[in-house]
Structure 1
Amino acid sequence: MNLKNYTKEFSYNLRLAYPIILGMVGHTLIAIVDNIMVGKLGSTELAAVSLGNSMIFIALSLGIGFSTAITPIVAEADAEKNESKIRSAFHHGLFLCTILGVFLFGLIVLAMPLMELLHQPADVIVLAKPYLAWVAFSLVPLIIYQGYKQFADGLSMTKYSMYAIIMANIIHVGINYMLIYGVWIFPKMGIVGAALGTVISRIMMVLFMHIILSRREQLKTYFQNFSFEEIKKETLRKIINLGLPSAMQMLFEVVLFTASIWLCGNIGKTSQAANQVALSLASLTFMFAMGLSVVSMIRVSNQRGLMDYKNLVVVARSVFLLSIILEVVFAAVFIAFHSILPYLFLNMENTLQLTDNTEVIEIASKLLLIAAVFQISDGIQVVVLGALRGLQDVKVPMYITFVAYWVIGFPISYYLAEYTPWKAQGVWIGLLAGLTSAAIFLYIRFHYLTKKLINNSVANN
């Protein structure tokens, strides 16, 4: 097919994507701001935030992965002009997100003793525990916020979550600055101050989303007369059947990256800090692909609702192509500036930390070269996964991601980190292998399903 058929979709894809991307970048910026502000206190504090966030990211992946089930149902219903189906998906989804948020908070609190079992440095654990307790609580408003966000995304109203995140980041930076360093009347709380900044900003996000969406004339019908009697087992089951495998897909990937933090922690404090620096930068660029993944899910769901399967393939491939182009640009940036970017995260004027910080920069600059390559694979796998969610195909992709990350990726990471001189670089080579395998097999799955849909459609006509 002519390349022009794909490129003509770029402008609409980007219009839909840029608010989602800015929202995703905003999410990551909250963690990066914590890392930069805490990094100025020292490498031990940075390692503590890294360790605390490694557990948070696991819970977060379950919450965000699960909530994505709301978007394809709403987007499909929107194409069908079915208001009652949209309302039902929103109410049931928000109900499940609230329960899940509280559950994940409790799970993190109960899992805290795991830090000792993972043989992490003792001084890092002492600092990480209070930080983790507060950030775990912030999961409750964050997962509820996801319910609102996925509903709005399904209606192609992608700007509202962007506004919420921009507002949250402004609040977060201000509160962080005052509570970490003890400015004006506020006490100097160190990394606990960073955690409180996260909690307050996430509560504000939920309030903002509720107010801005409920006041829109065309959405008022979805916010009126909510009753628990409307909650039906069949609808809950449908969302859970879509949401649970999606949550597991995201969990398999995030736990792989979390395992990289733990593996680097076993190598040493400087490797763990370097891993965090490289991971922060790679996560930032990955958010662009994540945003396009949501666009892929929305647009494929719309075409599925319209039953236009040939156009569905064109739309999906246009998103895949756009993602590859963006990730190649970021790869070039990482290669060009791999030795400069790590300096953003460390205070080189601190003479007591100078030896450690120099080592962190040396390791991080090597990791960024590997990150340059793996983010291309990462971008492809996440947009194809979005298209498969749009097709409401979630179980087979769940198995594919498990094999790619845990049968291929992790064993390579573990072996190279523990038994070769590659150490932290070896961990990242394993990540690259896992992501590349996922990208290849998920695309094969997408090609197989769409070909089948087109053939069935032609046969029925």
Structure 2
Amino acid sequence: MAEMKTNSQRLKRFFILLIPIFITQTSLFAMHFFDTMMAGQISPQDLAGVAIGSSLWVAVSAGLAGILLAVTPIVSQYVGADQQNKVAPFIVQAIYLGIMMGILVIVAGFLTVPSILGAMNLEAKVYKISSSFLGLLSVGVIPLLVYTVLRCFMDALGQTRTTMLITLYAIPINVFINYIMMFGKLGFPKLGGAGAGLASALTYWCLLFISIYIVHHKPTFSIYAIFQQIQLVHFNTLKKILKIGIPIGLSIFFESSVFSAVTILMSRFDTDTIAAHQLANNFQALLYMTPYSIALALTIAVGFEVGAGRFKEARLYSIIGIVTALILAAFYMTNIIIWDYKIVGIYTSDYHIQVIAHRFLLFAALFQFSDAIATPVQGILRGYRDVNVSFVSTLLAYWGIGLPFGYLLANFTSLEAVGYWIGLISGLACSAIFLLWRIFYLQRQQPDLANRFTA
């Protein structure tokens, strides 16, 4: 990535980074979107089962991938500081870490998933679908995490278009496998909602193989010789990744898992309410890909400028990112209000579920502005390697404010299920305010920042 001299050049560079990242993240999320949408065409039980299984998986996978997101700022700063020789050994160690994490999460999943689903008091069919979905999905955990390392490596070099193209291949692959597995086509047994888990796992393997081929053969990446050396596990490097990655992963996990916690708490309501909540939550998560993509682009741009010691330029990229997120949030909010019933109709034709989901979706619109501030600011802070404050802020905002407040509203007022949405919106707003203060404070300390990035 070259240094940009003017604001127009910086704006162009930012969107060159952002657009492919946005397409990549939306494509990855599209697998969950199509899982939920296609399950809704089978039965309300399949919709609820897949939505619950997907909700639990998204929380865990987002947290795990968040740990590996440490690859992006570290590699960006290596490149910005002209230390390319450190990149390949670092990526190999990150791959080892991804494999270790994958093994641990598979074992943990088999030990804990039955108890988690059992605590939700689900219908027997919904329980079976969720359990089977997660069991089949576990086949793809390790390839997903290794692919995440390679994707972060490519993104950190500014090659976000490459990761976009790789991920775009995943959509038709996933939809096709979904179709034959869920509906029993081409001689395969009809697995219903559970088939979506197997389809996602097989798609993750495809993503990994494509990524390995490109990293090994495309000159932009092959010059680093990632796969041309054998290394032992280097625990100091793993520690370096975890020092930055764990706060990132926990921040993302606590933000994602609070929605899973709400799903568990909502189990006291009927299946239609659970399905409607997951429908609205699924669409809200789809829109979240925009501020999340902006955050990833900001981590790359800010990390590169910080690595080169250009703190003023890092601040300018921060402003560009936040303003872009706010403009898009206003656009999304307007369209949700106008097209709410049309959006719900994409997922299900069940009128009762549509009516309930309509209420949830209007609250999902309110998420947009707080997300447009809190999420990009977290990306900026990662570019500075300032990750612990984001973790604490997310933990307190969602689990200290949002969830308890939502529980009180849902269980002790007439708002019922809607109360959880109000609570989460309140927590996110608190997080946005605090994180804005943190970035203003940090960027005022520019003369004292240089020592942080010399290691």
Q: TM range, normalised to the smaller chain?
A: over 0.9
1:417–1:423 contact (8 Å) kept in structure 2: yes
Name 1:318's counterpart in structure 2.
Answer: 320
Q: Are the equivalent residues in 2 in contact too, given 1:263–1:427 (CA < 8 A)?
A: no
Instruction: Say whether residues 1:107 and 2:108 are aligned partners.
Output: yes
Match of 1:62 in 2: 63
Alpha-carbon offset, residue 456 of structure 1: 6.7
1:8 Cα offset (Å): 6.2
Aligned residue in 2 for 1:359: 352
CA contact (8 A) 1:404 1:434 kept: yes
The Cα shift of 1:60 comes to 0.3
Matched residues in 2 for 1:127 and 1:176: separation? 15
- Contact kept, 8 Å, 1:109 with 1:136, in 2: the verdict is no
> Are 1:27 and 2:28 counterparts?
yes
| Secondary structure of the corresponding residue to residue 225 of structure 2 | helix
Counterpart of 1:9 in 2: which secondary structure? helix
In structure 2, C-alpha distance between the alignment counterparts of 1:343 and 1:434, rounded to whole Å:
29
Q: Does 1:243 align with 2:226?
A: no
Distance 1:260 1:340 in 2: 25
> For 1:188 and 1:21, how far apart are their aligned partners in 2?
33
Deviation at 1:218, TM superposition (A): 3.4
Q: Distance in 1 between matches of 2:430 and 2:240?
A: 29
Q: Deviations over 1:238-282 (max 9, x none)?
A: 111001111110111011111122233322211111111111111
Aligned equivalent of 1:139: 141
State the shift of 1:227 in Å. Answer: 1.7
1:195 maps to amino acid: G
User: C-alpha displacement at 1:455, in angstroms?
Assistant: 6.5
The aligned counterpart of 1:227 is 230
Q: Per the alignment, in what secondary structure is the counterpart of residue 372 of structure 1?
A: helix
Q: Match for residue 46 of structure 2?
A: 45
Q: What does residue 410 of structure 1 align with?
A: 403
- CA drift at 1:321: 0.7
Structure 2 matches for 1:112-123, cutoff 5 A?
Answer: 112-113=113-114, 114-123=116-125
Q: Conserved in 2, the CA contact under 8 Å of 1:56 and 1:136?
A: no
Q: 1:6 to 1:249 in 2, by over 3 A?
A: farther
| Contact map agreement 2:120 2:265 (CA 8 A) in 1 | no
Quote the Cα distance in structure 2 between the aligned partners of 1:306 and 1:190. Answer: 52
3-state DSSP class of the match of 1:338? helix
Q: Aligned-pair distance for 1:88?
A: 2.6
Tell me, in whole angstroms, the C-alpha distance in 2 between the residues paired with 1:214 and 1:381: 37
Of 266, 269, 291, the residue aligned with 2:271 is: 269
User: Displacement of 1:187 after TM fit?
Assistant: 2.1
Identity %: 26
Verify: 1:127 aligned to 2:120, yes or no.
no
Rounded to whole Å, the distance in 1 between the matches of 2:283 and 2:133 is 22
1:74 aligned partner: 75
CA 1:10 to 1:265, structure 2 compared with 1: closer, same or farther past 3 Å? farther
The answer on 1:379 being equivalent to 2:381 is: no
Compared CA separation, residues 146 and 455, structure 1 to 2 (3 A): closer
Matches within 5 A, 1:114-263: 114-220=116-222, 221-229=224-232, 231-263=233-265
Q: Look up the SS of the partner of 1:340 in the other structure.
A: helix
CA distance in 1, matches of 2:283, 2:52: 17
Give me the whole-angstrom Cα distance separating, in 1, the residues matched to 2:42 and 2:330: 34
1:400 has 2:393 as partner: yes
Question: What's the secondary structure of 1:164's corresponding residue?
Answer: helix
**TM superposition shift of 1:7:** 6.9
> 1:88 matched to which residue of 2?
89
Aligned equivalents of 1:9, 1:77: Cα separation in 2: 20
Q: Are the aligned partners of 1:267 and 1:423 in contact in 2 as well (CA < 8 Å)?
A: no
RMSD of aligned residue pairs (Cα, Å): 1.6
Distance 1:123 1:282 in 2: 26
Contact 1:242 1:394 in 2 (8 A): yes
What runs of 5+ residues in structure 2 fail to find an aligned partner?
1-5, 451-455
Specify the alignment match of 1:427 in structure 2: 420
Would the aligned equivalents of 2:50 and 2:194 in 1 still touch at CA under 8 Å?
Answer: no
Q: Evaluate the alpha carbon distance shift between residue 196 and residue 440 of structure 1 in structure 2; reply closer, same or farther with a 3 A threshold.
A: same
Shift of 1:454: 4.0
Q: Residue type matched to 2:175 in 1?
A: V
Secondary structure of 1:389's counterpart equals: helix
Contact 1:404 1:435 in 2 (8 A): yes
SS at match of 1:81: coil
Shift of 1:9: 3.5
Measured in 1, the distance between the counterparts of 2:221 and 2:328 equals 34
Name the amino acid aligned to 2:228.
N
Residues 1:109 and 1:380: Cα distance change in structure 2 (over 3 Å): same
SS of equivalent to 1:339 = helix
- Determine the C-alpha separation between the residues in 2 that align with 1:312 and 1:341: 38
C-alpha distance in structure 1 between counterparts of 2:55 and 2:423, whole Å: 18
Distance of 2:235 and 2:186 partners within structure 1: 53
Q: CA deviation at 1:223?
A: 2.1
Within 2, Cα distance between the matches of 1:61 and 1:224? 26
Aligned to 1:352: none
Query: Is the deviation greater in 263-272 or in 423-432?
Result: 263-272
Contact kept? 1:179, 1:190, Cα under 8 Å: yes
Partners of 2:340 and 2:353 lie apart in 1 by 13
How far apart in 1 are the matches of 2:225 and 2:267? 47
Among 421, 425, 449, the alignment partner of 2:442 is 449
Distance 1:329 1:11 in 2: 21
